[in-house]
């Protein structure tokens, strides 16, 4: 219960007239609200095109060099490359979907009853969602590029799964390939898949270093 002795009479009256600066500020605010969705969509298209070019260039550069078979590198590094590629694929897919969402909106139909008296608020909410999708797409695209670069660098610099082999060609034994150990007296021992072979260096007609011995 309110004490009547402390009650006050409140008088409501019209405020001061709006000044020219107030009208200009209100008009500018209205213009920004009405155009914000268009501006966000335009920015999303620009960012999509800008991020696509260096990403495609990075993928193309990765195809120039690097081990194409991860079984040639150390198993731990090979597993790390697989994890990095999986992370790059996942972040790339989400990034692409986010940028498409920001540039084109959601594939949905707005109910007519939702439009009555709320068109401006609907566009404002959509602009906020599109801006959030654009920011998410930018971050994930950069993350995808980092994952791809890390996977590519791992294939370059990872230690080999096995030491390089040497392939010898001799008139008597033919091609012999495997890991080499010195045996003394001008001979080397070659550990081949079928066993150990001793090669006399004076009989070698050619030799080359290979990562994997050719299969017969």
Q: Which domains does the chain have, with CATH numbers?
A: 21-157 (no CATH), 165-210 (2.30.30)
The DSSP call for residue 185 is T
Q: Is the pLDDT of residue 136 over 90?
A: yes
Mean pLDDT of the chain: 76
Of 27-36, 110-119, 128-137, 187-196, least confident by mean pLDDT is 110-119
**Is 84 in contact with 147 (CB distance < 8 Å)?**
yes
Q: Distance between CA 24 and CA 193 in Å, rounded?
A: 85
| Average pLDDT estimate for 24-36 | 66
DSSP letters spanning 81-117: HHHHHHHHHHHHHHHHHHHHHHHH--S----HHHHTT
Q: Which two tokens stand for residue 14?
A: 């019209």
* Other CB atoms within 10 Å distance of the CB of residue 59: 14
pLDDT over 70 percentage in the chain: 74
H/E segment holding residue 74: none
168-190: buried (b, 16+ CB within 10 Å) or exposed (e) per residue?
A: bbbeeeeebbbebeeeeeeebeb
Residue 1 has what pLDDT? 47
| Higher-confidence position of 204 and 163 | 204
pTM over 0.95: no
* Termini Cα distance of the chain: 102
Over residues 32-70, the pLDDT tens digits come to 666 777 888 888 888 888 877 766 666 665 554 555 566
Q: Distance between CA 118 and CA 48 in Å, rounded?
A: 30
Q: What are phi and psi of 172, to 5 degrees?
A: -85, -45
Residue 10 has what pLDDT? 75
């Amino acid at each position: 219960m309110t004490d009547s002795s402390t009650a006050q009479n409140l008088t409501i009256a019209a405020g001061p007239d709006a000044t020219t600066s107030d009208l200009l500020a209100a008009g500018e605010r209205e213009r920004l609200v009405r155009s914000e969705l268009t501006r966000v969509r335009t920015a999303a298209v620009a960012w999509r095109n800008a991020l696509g070019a260096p990403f495609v260039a990075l993928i193309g550069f990765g195809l120039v060099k690097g081990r194409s078979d991860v079984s040639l590198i150390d198993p731990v590094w090979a597993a790390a490359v697989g994890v990095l590629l999986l992370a790059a694929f996942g972040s790339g897919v989400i990034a692409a979907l986010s940028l498409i969402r920001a540039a084109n909106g959601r594939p949905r139909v707005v109910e007519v009853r939702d439009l009555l008296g709320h068109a401006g608020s609907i566009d404002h909410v959509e602009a906020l969602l599109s801006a959030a999708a654009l920011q998410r797409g930018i971050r994930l695209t950069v993350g995808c590029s980092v994952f791809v670069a890390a996977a590519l660098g791992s294939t370059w610099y990872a230690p080999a799964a096995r030491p390089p082999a040497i392939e010898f060609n001799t008139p008597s034994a033919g091609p012999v390939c495997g890991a080499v150990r010195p045996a003394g007296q001008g001979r080397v021992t070659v550990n081949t898949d079928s066993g150990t072979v001793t090669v006399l260096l004076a009989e070698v007609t050619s030799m080359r270093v290979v990562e994997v011995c050719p299969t017969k």
